[in-house]
Amino acid sequence: MEETKLSFFSTEENQAWQEIPGWLLPSTAEELYRCASLANPNGFVVEIGSFSGKSTVCIASALKKNRHENKMPQMAAIDIMFQPGFRDYLALFGVSDYINVIKKPSLAAAEKWNQPISFIYIDGHHGKAHAYADLMVWDTFIMPGGIVALDDTAGFFLGPSLQVQAAIQTGAYDLISDIGGVTFLKKKKALLPFISDFPLSEGSLRAYVDYVSAWLGAMDLAFELPQLPPPSQNKIPPKQNKDFVKIIGRKVLDTSLRQILHSITKKKASRKQINQTQTPSSIDHTDEALSIPNKLKKPYQILKWLEVEHQNDEVIENTVLYLNACLEIRLNHIANAIKKLEILSELDESLKFINYNISIQQLSVLRLAQSHDLQGNRDIAKEKYQVLIKESTVPEIRHQAELGLSKSFQLSATNRNKLLREYNAELRKYKTMYEV
């Protein structure tokens, strides 16, 4: 029988901890506390699957002791349904101020996550697909040297066993300890070497740049955006209701015991007890950010992040500057766009975009000409178009310059005859996304 008293809690706290519902062994709680204490303070701490908070208060207590100077939330507790009393337990142990509570499935929370992680405890869905996906996705945020704790790895659940094998057999993680059905690992490298946010890998960088390019229309010569598909109006026909019920019933059968328990207690839990909070730093509250239209907020946030992460690489730095200029045009900040594009127009024409085998300088001159047209500087615009017609090595850019010379450029927000999948057909052959 294990010693039930935890070394880092007082007698009263130990008594309270024993009353928190959950299956965490004291030996595992001690290791969670120890590893959370060792975690790099520059990284965030994440718990996937907090349930009633039995492990949450142990991890957060380590932060409280070791990171007490920083009162900002440094831990995210993620669950699809927190149990009644979860917030009360956090308050009882004095750790509420250190935790952001995110009431979402883990992968949904990962969609908006943008912080480096130094310690993560994964105790989510134990099904094969869900567990493997949790490790693969959250690994992209874990810093080198970061610690991962994987729950229920004693062999009774296939998902956690696969997590351990994926981490160890790839050489991405080293074993720290295996205590009470929880495996503790230390990260050496990314599971997928080219997909990582911290540090930013080339594969992730290319994907982010491609995403921003598409939503700004940055690589469309006419600077047009494709038509978004209309929202679906589909409803389930009455005659299909029985089939729909069968599908829902089948989903219930496929649901884990823990999810069923969550669903049962959901009706009893007070919704006011849980205050869902945003992912750390996912919202920029500056005046500039607040003026950004919703459809451009994510590209804006990515660009701000890439400005910091480019690590003084000339190609990345100038690609990001070009995308920022395109964002300025979308926001109708034409004068700001011109300043950026004038800098880019002075580059050596051999410098290419990170995601396209096209000269940054030449495409920037085209955008510069179009920007002068938008400002009513037709003579300057014509001069730029003529330079491109004479000097550009890209036939498609020369053709667009000829169109600009014959007719003043006007900004058209959307091409209603073009679908998303048809976007940027003219320059697609220059794309380098598929090169290794």
Q: Could you report the per-residue pLDDT of 18-69, keeping only the tens digit for each?
A: 999 999 999 999 999 999 999 999 999 999 999 999 999 999 999 999 876 6
Residue 260: its pLDDT value, please?
45
Residue 418: its pLDDT value, please?
59
What are the boundaries of each domain within the chain?
11-187, 202-228+280-430
Residues of the chain with pLDDT under 50: 244-245, 247-248, 251-258, 260-283
Residue 411: its pLDDT value, please?
87
Contact in structure between 83 and 265 (CB atoms under 8 Å):
yes
- Tens digits of per-residue pLDDT, 325-342? 999 999 999 999 999 999
Q: Quick one: fold of 11-187?
A: Rossmann fold (3.40.50)
pTM of the full structure: 0.79
Q: What tokens were used for 209?
A: 């740049």
Contact in structure between 37 and 65 (CB atoms under 8 Å):
yes
Residue 29: its pLDDT value, please?
97
Sheet holding 99-103, edge to edge: 99-103, 75-79, 44-48, 117-122, 142-151, 182-187, 173-179
The DSSP line for 286-320 is: SHHHHTS-HHHHHHHHHHHHHHHHTTT-HHHHHHH
Angle at CA 292, nearest 5°, toward 99 and 302? 60
The H or E element spanning position 414 is strand 414-415
What does the DSSP 8-state code read for residue 279? P
Residue 267: its pLDDT value, please?
42
Residue 311: its pLDDT value, please?
66
Residue 312: its pLDDT value, please?
79
Contact in structure between 101 and 77 (CB atoms under 8 Å):
yes
